[in-house]
Amino acid sequence: MHAEATLPRDTSAAPSQRLRVLLVEDSARLAASIRDYLERQNYEVFIEGDGNAVAERFDRLKPDLVILDLMLPGKDGLTICRELRRHDRIPILILTAKGENIDQVLGLEMGADDYVVKPVEPRVLLARIEALLRRSRSAPPEAREAKLAAGRLTIDGARRAATIDERAVELTTGDFDILWLLASRQGNVVTRDEILRVVRGIDYDGLDRSIDARICRLRRKLLEAGGAESMIKTVRLRGYLFAGEG
């Protein structure tokens, strides 16, 4: 993480109370650097460097967000991510030195909401954190009082939840945002660029495979809840289309 001068924070957007971040990182120097920066931005940061101790710290602290390294002593980050995701929808941001697409895709498959590759500029890390927290705490503006129905699937924008025949679909923050986007545009193709801007706040570079991994995971979750995998269709070279169950 590169050193830089303290940046002013927009106090109008500051939370009324300090949000809790559990930082899982075994490099004491890097962890201290991230903690110091985030605490200057009004976050409360707790560091854990032992993969085997993360679950207990998570249960005790009840953080608002987890920043998770992949390479840890004890349990690895992917295992931790999968275990946390089984029980909670708290945003998980993977912070890793592994920049290969396969590592990023695996992280998303395990339930992570986003990832950044080391070394990362503090402002970039902060922007990703704040984007995740915004999405986890509010429905899209047009969804706040709305519900979408497509056959047996119902999506509740205010609760950020979805059901199929009243059976809950297990969704992360990113899963919900993608499902809402696709279902609200039912019958129309939504490009990877549009999806990436919604779930990660960045433009599609033509190479990023994270959206494909997210769509595969979303299809599987719809199927597990009793829906049809074909609800979401791939439109070659263009993007994805929500077709419902027709």
Per-residue model confidence (pLDDT) at position 2? 41
Contact yes or no for 61/20 (Cβ under 8 A): yes
Per-residue model confidence (pLDDT) at position 116? 86
The model's pTM: 0.62
All domains of the chain, ordered by start, with CATH? 17-137 (3.40.50.2300), 141-242 (1.10.10.10)
Q: Quick one: 203 exposed, middle or buried, by C-beta within 10 A (0-12, 13-18, 19+)?
A: exposed
Q: pLDDT (tens digit, 0 to 9) for every residue of the chain, 246 residues total?
A: 443 333 333 333 444 578 999 999 999 999 999 999 999 999 999 999 999 999 999 999 999 999 999 889 999 998 999 888 876 678 899 988 765 666 666 777 777 888 888 888 899 899 889 888 877 765 454 555 588 888 889 998 877 889 999 899 988 878 888 899 899 888 899 998 888 877 766 555 556 677 888 888 899 899 999 888 788 999 988 899 998 865
Q: Using the Cα atoms of residue 33, residue 116, residue 202 and residue 171 in order, give the sign of their dihedral.
A: negative
Q: Which long-range contacts (CB under 8 A, 24 or more apart) does 190-197 make?
A: 190/239, 190/240, 190/241, 190/242, 191/238, 191/239, 192/239, 192/240, 194/239, 195/239, 195/240
Residues paired with 63 in a beta bridge: none
Residues 6 or more apart in contact with residue 70 via CB below 8 angstroms: 76, 77, 78, 94, 96, 97, 98, 103, 107
